[in-house]
Amino acid sequence: MRALLKLTVLVWMLMLVAGCAAPVAAPAAPAGDAAPAAGSDAAAPADLLADIQARGVLRISTDPAYPPQSELVADAQRPADTKCSGEERTASELTGFDIDVAAAIAAALGVEPCFVTPDWTLITGGSWAGRWDLSVGSMTITPERMTKLYFAQPYYTTPAAFFVHEANTTLAAPADLSGKKVGACAGCTYEFYLDGSLQIPGETIEFVVTDTEFTGYDTDTSALQDLALGDGVRLDGVLTALPTGAGFIANGNPLKQLGEPVYFEYLAPAIDKASPLDTTSFRAAVDAAVQALHADGTLKQLAEQYYGVDLANAAAAFDIAGLEQ
């Protein structure tokens, strides 16, 4: 009994000493690594770049309804050795300027590009919950979007222009659309221009069209299709990217550009600020990849291939470090 009492006291004293001692800090995880999850055999990557390189896949959101930026390839064949899931599209199933740029960024990271096509508002709204890693969908840098997204070095610029039906003889300049029925993509920079709220870093904007009767569309193409009906009931004009409108006309549709472009946009890859993994190294890697594509002339060549003009030069000179992100 006495021996048992002595043992009990000894155990109690050891517990007391352990409770008063300062906790021993766990060894710091190597940069880019997180502490292993309970029951796991290996540490999971703590940052997004490490995670992407570990899985060998860069998940990219884009919009397949915006030729020549991006569109589906009819009867495309998926590579047998693709790492893309069944819900993702491979680079061979899409074509366009954005697709080639995204594939080049993935190549610079040493991984395969896999594409998803969520609704535009889901992309610009942030909080992607890790469903995709990067947006390469001709997204304009704006202060509002910068509250939810990080932007990498812009890969090109594009002019925004108004289009009207080719039979229209009453409208001679963009200002003539003031008070008229104008369509554009809902929730995008064109709508913000039309309501007078658009801000673009590095750009001074003059709002020459005011008080429009606005109609929002899921895509610019849908707005252009309504305008092409030519009945004047649905729309008098559409504001969109000049290459998008020009491509629509090149496909045989009865529209024409109205005057000169009203502003220019810087378009850049975007990364979710609410990412569950640290994006610091990933953002630096994407910046470096885009800057290298500018430096070696790849972006200039792609822009001339898809648009017939160099739209990349001004984007190369954009001071991404000057943005407060």
Q: Which residues of 226-251 are buried (b: 16+ CB within 10 A; e: fewer)?
A: bbbebeeeebbbbbbbbbbbbbbbee
H runs (alpha helix) in the chain:
2-20, 48-55, 97-109, 120-124, 143-146, 189-194, 220-228, 242-250, 280-295, 298-307, 313-316
Q: Is the peptide bond before 68 cis (omega within 30 degrees of 0)?
A: yes
For the beta sheet containing 89-90, the strands, ordered from the edge strand earlier in sequence to the opposite edge, are 89-90, 112-116, 57-61, 134-135, 270-272, 149-151
User: Can you give the pTM of this predicted structure?
Assistant: 0.71
pLDDT value of position 74: 93
Number of other CB atoms surrounding residue 177 within 10 Å = 24
Q: In 3D, which of 265, 239, 227 has the Cα closest to residue 177?
A: 239
Neighbours of 36 (CB within 10 A): 12
Please, what are the domains in the chain? 48-74+86-155+268-322 (3.40.190.10), 158-265 (3.40.190.10)
What pLDDT, on the 0 to 100 scale, is given for residue 42? 53
Question: Which residues are CB-contacts of 248 (< 8 A; sequence separation ≥ 6)?
Answer: 163, 221, 224, 228, 255
Q: What is the pLDDT along the chain (325 residues), one digit of tens a residue?
A: 333 333 333 333 333 333 333 332 333 333 333 334 444 445 555 899 999 999 999 999 998 888 889 999 999 999 999 999 999 999 999 999 999 999 999 999 999 999 999 999 999 999 999 999 999 999 989 899 999 999 999 999 989 999 999 999 999 999 999 999 999 999 899 999 999 999 888 788 999 999 999 999 999 999 999 999 987 789 999 999 998 899 899 999 999 999 999 998 999 999 999 999 999 999 999 999 999 999 999 999 999 999 988 999 989 999 998 888 8
Residue 9 confidence (pLDDT): 35
> Which pLDDT does position 116 carry in this prediction?
98
Structure tokens at 29: 């995880």
